[in-house]
């Protein structure tokens, strides 16, 4: 039984490691749904005033989506790799295809949360009803009193209308909610088709086999985890040495003492080495052997990022 449980846990661990991007995007979408629900309950309050409803309704949908998009861009490692690449090496090594793939990767991941926000807002319909209620033509409503206009229609989302207009308010709300939800479902369909086509295009244009691409993804994940873990230990040991040199002693706990004794740190890596392993990486092969990252390329002593007589650059960016 214990062996069976251990095997199941191992399977789940491998599954989640192989699906980390999909799971992360799912968690982002779920978090966005929860945030939108909280916003609708706590913060959304239609002004029910002509010329203000439209601006407020669009802002309730667009501004949070814009903020979420910018957060997604800032959270993406490709963004800062691109900044470092442009700062250190310029864009001379970028082809049009590589640039398109890079920006597509950044924009695609950053769009998960704002698209989710927009879809949920449209399916709920409150912001859409608030924004467009005043633009409903009175002539489209059967037997709507001629002495009422946009001022009254703008108050429909707040239900602050005369009793004789209650049925018209319900009709307007139903009509606008139908339009809002229709746009929401259309947006879901369009995004689903685009994601499907993008995945197909990515695998069709990939120079790697499916298994090698999966291995590359595992390598990138493991390299990143080990690099971060090692960097944290290295920086702690270096800091301990510098503090000890300043004070004459350093207050370490048992675990930190073991780290200092086990991993002697003599110095720091020079800036050229940091620059060599930082930036956008395009998959390359050298003499037929793959180079899976900038760190891998640096370890093999391969210089440059463009094609050379001994190396072959393939326009395929790390996803």
Domain extent at residue 270: 210-300
235 and 93 belong to one structural domain: no
225 and 201 belong to one structural domain: no
192 and 73 belong to one structural domain: yes
- The residue-averaged pLDDT of 235-239 equals 93
Q: Is residue 26 part of a domain?
A: no
Instruction: Convert the pLDDT of each residue in 128-183 to its tens digit.
Output: 999 998 888 877 777 777 767 778 888 888 877 777 777 878 888 899 999 999 99
pLDDT (0 to 100) of residue 31 = 61
**Domains identified in the chain, total number:** 2
Q: Is residue 11 part of a domain?
A: no
Backbone angles phi, psi at 315, to 5 degrees: -75, 75
Highest mean pLDDT, choosing among 32-41, 72-81, 113-122, 309-318: 113-122
284 beta partners:
291, 313
145 and 250 belong to one structural domain: no
Is the pLDDT confidence value at 42 over 70?
Answer: no
Backbone angles phi, psi at 227, to 5 degrees: -65, -45
How does residue 319 score in pLDDT terms, banded at 50, 70 and 90? very low
Q: Give this prediction's pTM.
A: 0.70
Is the pLDDT confidence value at 196 over 50?
Answer: yes
138 and 217 belong to one structural domain: no
45 and 165 belong to one structural domain: yes
């Amino acid at each position: 039984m214990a062996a069976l449980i251990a095997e199941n846990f191992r399977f789940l661990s491998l599954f989640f490691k192989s699906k980390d991007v999909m799971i992360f995007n799912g968690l982002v979408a779920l978090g966005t749904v929860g945030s939108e629900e909280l916003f609708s309950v706590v913060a959304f309050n239609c002004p029910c005033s002509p010329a203000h409803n439209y601006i407020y309704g669009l802002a309730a949908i667009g501004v949070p989506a814009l903020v979420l998009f910018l957060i997604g861009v800032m959270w993406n490692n490709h963004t800062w790799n691109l900044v470092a690449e442009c700062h250190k090496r310029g864009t001379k090594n970028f082809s049009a295809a590589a640039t398109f793939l890079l920006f597509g990767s950044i924009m695609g991941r950053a769009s998960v949360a704002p698209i989710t926000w927009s879809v949920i807002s449209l399916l709920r319909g409150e912001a859409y009803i608030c924004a467009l209620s005043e633009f409903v033509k009175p002539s489209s409503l059967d037997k709507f009193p001629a002495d009422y206009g946009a001022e009254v229609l703008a108050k429909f989302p707040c239900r602050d209308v005369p009793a004789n207009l209650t049925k018209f308010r319900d009709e307007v709300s139903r009509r606008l909610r139908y339009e809002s939800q229709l746009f929401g479902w259309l947006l879901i369909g369009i995004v689903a088709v685009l994601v499907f086509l993008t995945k197909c295009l990515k695998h069709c244009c990939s120079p790697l086999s499916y298994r090698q691409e999966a291995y590359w993804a595992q390598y990138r994940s493991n390299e990143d985890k080990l690099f971060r873990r090692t960097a944290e230990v290295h920086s702690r040991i270096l800091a301990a040495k510098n503090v000890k040199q300043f004070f004459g002693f350093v207050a370490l706990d048992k675990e930190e003492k073991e780290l200092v004794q086990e991993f002697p740190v003599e110095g720091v890596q020079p800036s050229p080495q940091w620059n060599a392993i930082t930036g956008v990486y395009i998959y390359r092969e050298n003499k037929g052997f793959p180079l899976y990252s900038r760190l891998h390329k640096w370890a093999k002593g391969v210089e440059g990022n463009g094609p050379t007589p001994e190396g072959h650059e393939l326009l395929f960016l790390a996803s």
